[in-house]
Amino acid sequence: MEKKTIGKFIQALRRAQGMTQRELADRLYVSDKTVSRWECDECTPELSLIPVIAEIFGITTDELLRGERRTAEATDVGGEDNSKRLRVKSEKQFRTMLRNRMTRYKNLSMISFGLLAAGVLAAFICNFAFFRGRLAFFLGLAFIAAGVITEICFSSSARLTLEEEDEAYQKEIETHNRAVVRYKWTRMFMAYLAVVAVFPFITYEFSAFAGIDFTTWIGIELLCLAIALPAVMIVRSLFGSSYLEKYEGIAQTDADRALRRANRKSAKKTLAVFAPIGAVLLVAFFVLANTPLSRIARGEVFEDIESFQAYVATEGKRWTEERYGTVAVITTPVVIFDSESENVDVPTEDPDHDSAGFYDVETLVDGYGNYVCEYVSYFNFIRLMKFSGNDLFPITVYTAEHYEAADNLVNALMAFCAIGLLADIVVGCVVYAQAAKENRKKAVV
């Protein structure tokens, strides 16, 4: 016995009306090859075409999906079992077409995912390989926008609207549309994260022809995630269900509305606990990032000229040798003197040397411009001097070592704030997700 399929049924109906494949294809706005594939059972018609095909041949969509006309026997008492069997077959074929449509949509959606991944990868290469931060941002943004547009197009074509179908099919279609919308917004969330990933490249303000290093990107990215993830959680909890109902056409039941209210309450409780902690850590991070190192560094205090001269000469030489590995060639001694100490011979720099570590002789003056003494100044060693009121001494000297220690302390504290902030966000999201899961269980019960 020949197996009854939609394709064979369409072929029989077409031949019965004396239509060619080309004529049927023209009425459906498809190619004759598509009609041929239907009739050869290589594929089935799109669900949106089912009502149109049924109308062309003067049958019901239920009959088209079953692959045969409804007989009189199916309606009388003796044919109840046969009618039930045909109904089950029709529903099975309908569900198969829904699965095939969803699979096709997911396969096409991989194009969108590829564009998002290509955007992030292109931005990383442009910044870290070619040091073009702003170009990296806009290049990545272009790819991400293309991915979003293609995903919207694919999801729109995957959704169904068959208002003339019976209630059973309407439920199947609604479930299918929910799955499409859920999958689409998963891709939208990926696009959101992709934008967050490339955003740090545009924050470099010094030059359009420069990029940021990986460490800086990590720091900025953590801050972006600290703002982006809670924002998504809040927006989704407060407006997600209403958006689906108003703009996506996904009907909301009383249980859905009750679940939305419960999720909003859970979101408010979660924010009440974790938002203050995150705010404190975020403010601390920005305060540390914008505090001058001179306010954090602990300088060396000197009460007299001799201790000051001895410190900058010995410690400066040690720091220069450790940093640069060499000091400038000694050529001619220079006499450093002051009114209270004995003369001291110290070397001066060789004007012909090309070493990175060298020293010079600097003059120390008071707040009125009066000469106090001379001292050996090694390259980039002394960063700042602070005087005590109108008197020269005591004097506080901040060296490169003091600044490095302060910088290390600031970086450690900023890392602590960033990690703490990220942990606060992750824990908060986990707590909210668990609460939302419990809300769903209660809604089901």
Task: Give 162 or 169, the one with higher predicted confidence.
Answer: 169
Domains and CATH numbers, the chain: 6-70 (1.10.260.40), 295-408 (no CATH)
| Model pLDDT, residue 99 | 83
What is the band of 271 on the pLDDT scale with cuts at 50, 70, 90? Answer: confident
Q: Which of 34-38, 78-82, 419-423 is the least confident region?
A: 78-82
What is the band of 359 on the pLDDT scale with cuts at 50, 70, 90? Answer: low
| Model pLDDT, residue 262 | 85
What is the band of 112 on the pLDDT scale with cuts at 50, 70, 90? Answer: very high
Residue 191 contacts residue 117 (beta carbons within 8 Å): no
What is the band of 221 on the pLDDT scale with cuts at 50, 70, 90? Answer: confident
| Model pLDDT, residue 324 | 60
pTM over 0.85: no
| Model pLDDT, residue 289 | 80
Average pLDDT over all residues of the chain: 76
Residue 7 contacts residue 40 (beta carbons within 8 Å): yes
| Model pLDDT, residue 139 | 94
Nearest alpha carbon to residue 195 among 224, 152, 237: 224
pLDDT at residue 339 greater than cutoff 50: no
How many Cα atoms within 13 Å fall on the side-chain side of residue 351? 1
Report for 149-153, 155-159, 307-311, 408-412: range of highest mean pLDDT: 149-153
What is the band of 150 on the pLDDT scale with cuts at 50, 70, 90? Answer: very high
Query: Per residue in 320-336, pLDDT tens?
Result: 677 665 544 443 344 44
pLDDT at residue 364 greater than cutoff 90: no
Residue 293 to residue 246: CA distance in whole angstroms: 53
Torsion over CA: 249, 184, 269, 436 (sign): positive
Tell me, what amino acid is at 445?
V
Residue 314: C-alpha distances to residues 307, 378, 379 (Å): 11, 10, 13
Nearest alpha carbon to residue 222 among 424, 427, 407, 412: 424
Nearest alpha carbon to residue 28 among 54, 9, 7: 54
| Model pLDDT, residue 342 | 42
pLDDT at residue 124 greater than cutoff 80: yes
3-state secondary structure the chain: CCCCCHHHHHHHHHHHCCCCHHHHHHHHCCCHHHHHHHHCCCCCCCHHHHHHHHHHHCCCHHHHHHCCCCCHHHCCHHHHHHHHHHHHHHHHHHHHHHHHHHHHHHHHHHHHHHHHHHHHHHHHHHHHCCCCHHHHHHHHHHHHHHHHHHHHHHHHHHCCCCCCCCHHHHHHHHHHHHHHHHHHHHHHHHHHHHHHHHHHHHHCCCCCCCCCCHHHHHHHHHHHHHHHHHHHHHHHHHHHHHHHHHCCCCCCCHHHHHHHHHHHHHHHHHHHHHHHHHHHHHHHHHHHHHCCHHHHCCCEEECCHHHHHHHHHHHHHHHHHHHHCCCCCCCCEEEECCCCCCCEEEECCCCCCCCCCCEEEEEEECCCCCEEEEEEEECCCEEEEEEECCEEEEEEEEEHHHHHHHHHHHHHHHHHHHHHHHHHHHHHHHHHHHHHHHHHHHHHC
pLDDT at residue 191 greater than cutoff 90: yes
| Model pLDDT, residue 360 | 67
| Model pLDDT, residue 356 | 44
pLDDT at residue 65 greater than cutoff 60: yes
What is the band of 71 on the pLDDT scale with cuts at 50, 70, 90? Answer: low
Query: Per residue in 365-407, pLDDT tens?
Result: 766 666 767 776 766 777 777 776 556 778 888 887 888 888 8
Percent of the chain with pLDDT over 90: 12
pLDDT at residue 119 greater than cutoff 90: yes
Residue 389 to residue 392: CA distance in whole angstroms: 8
